[in-house]
């Protein structure tokens, strides 16, 4: 995994733009600071989140937030080259020769699939097992996405609760101007907090986690195709062409250029 600071930069820029907009309109940042509103919006919504999900899932929230600042270093172009080489080795020396290669890989999904090939398990069984692992991975990752998406829905709702509290305070004593100001401030700031955190932090985190999961699952589907192709003993060139379909058009062009360079050097 590699560090990805783009989300951090985006969050910083987002908050900076909002603060700048307040300053441009000659407003005071202190007008937008309220401990009570923050408690109502964030802590209140988190309490509702604790009711919505078992605590064992909520304990993973810090690690999930850390996940958005990481990106997988795996390249599908590298997988094309890897499976092409493995298929050549398997055709040349037999499937059992792949056992020496398995320990060289860090990806447990890839290692498990290749080990089943070496063990002589039927292709249908290998596909069923690996498909089931993909499904369980998707379900497990989906819980984290659901947590942040639900939190993103609850935060504005608790902002509205703060609005109602502020309005009640304001309407309880219309004769006292200080209560009117205090009530309106609480009402508007809680709505502001709920909308801000939901749309700039919580929902984007859920979308980021979903995108990472889809990327990981797509790569694993590519691995399954490569593993089954190796087991079937088809021509390594066909294996390479099949796996090339998982690459983007730009990646395919880069891969073709790489092949041309290798042919030129060989000549």
3-state helix, strand, coil in the chain (%, to 5): 85, 0, 15
Residue 135: pLDDT over 60: yes
Residue 179: pLDDT over 80: no
Contact 34, 185 (CB under 8 A): yes
pLDDT in tens, 183-213: 676 678 889 999 999 999 999 999 999 999 9
Q: Which residue has the higher pLDDT, 177 or 103?
A: 103
Residue 52: pLDDT over 60: yes
* Short-list 144, 135, 139, CA closest to 208: 144
Token pair for residue 153? 């829905």
Q: Which long-range contacts (CB under 8 A, 24 or more apart) does 81-89 make?
A: 82/226, 83/226, 83/227, 83/229, 83/230, 83/239, 83/240, 83/243, 84/236, 84/237, 84/239, 84/240, 84/243, 86/114, 86/226, 86/230, 87/229, 87/230, 87/234, 87/235, 87/236, 87/239, 88/236
Report pTM: 0.83
Task: Return d(Cα 109, Cα 134) in angstroms, integer.
Answer: 9
Split at pLDDT 50, 70, 90, the class of 263 is: very low
Domain ranges within the chain, ordered by starting residue: 35-69+124-233, 237-267
Least confident range from 29-43, 47-61, 119-133, 227-241: namely 29-43
């Amino acid at each position: 995994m590699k560090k990805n600071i783009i989300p951090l930069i985006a969050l910083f820029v987002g908050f900076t733009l909002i603060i700048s907009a307040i300053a441009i309109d000659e407003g005071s940042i202190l007008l937008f600071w309220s401990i009570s509103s923050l408690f109502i919006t964030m802590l209140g919504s988190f309490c509702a989140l604790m009711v919505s999900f078992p605590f064992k899932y909520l304990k993973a929230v810090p690690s999930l937030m850390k996940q958005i600042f990481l990106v997988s270093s795996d390249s599908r172009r590298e997988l094309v080259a890897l499976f092409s080489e493995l298929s050549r080795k398997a055709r040349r020396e037999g499937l059992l020769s792949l056992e020496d290669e398995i320990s060289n890989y860090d990806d447990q999904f890839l290692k498990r699939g290749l080990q089943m090939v070496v063990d002589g398990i039927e292709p249908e069984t290998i596909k069923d097992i690996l498909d089931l692992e993909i499904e369980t991975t998707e379900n497990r990752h989906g819980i984290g996405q659901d947590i942040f998406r639900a939190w993103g829905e609850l935060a504005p709702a608790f902002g509205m609760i703060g609005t109602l509290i502020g309005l009640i305070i304001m309407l309880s004593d219309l004769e006292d101007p200080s209560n009117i100001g205090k009530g309106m401030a609480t009402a508007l700031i809680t709505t502001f907090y709920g909308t801000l955190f939901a749309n700039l932090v919580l929902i984007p985190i859920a979308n980021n986690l979903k995108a990472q999961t889809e990327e990981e699952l797509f790569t694993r589907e590519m691995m399954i195709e490569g593993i089954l192709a190796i087991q079937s003993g088809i021509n390594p060139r066909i294996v390479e062409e099949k796996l090339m379909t998982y690459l983007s058009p730009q990646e395919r062009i880069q891969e073709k250029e790489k092949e041309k360079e290798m042919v030129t050097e060989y000549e």
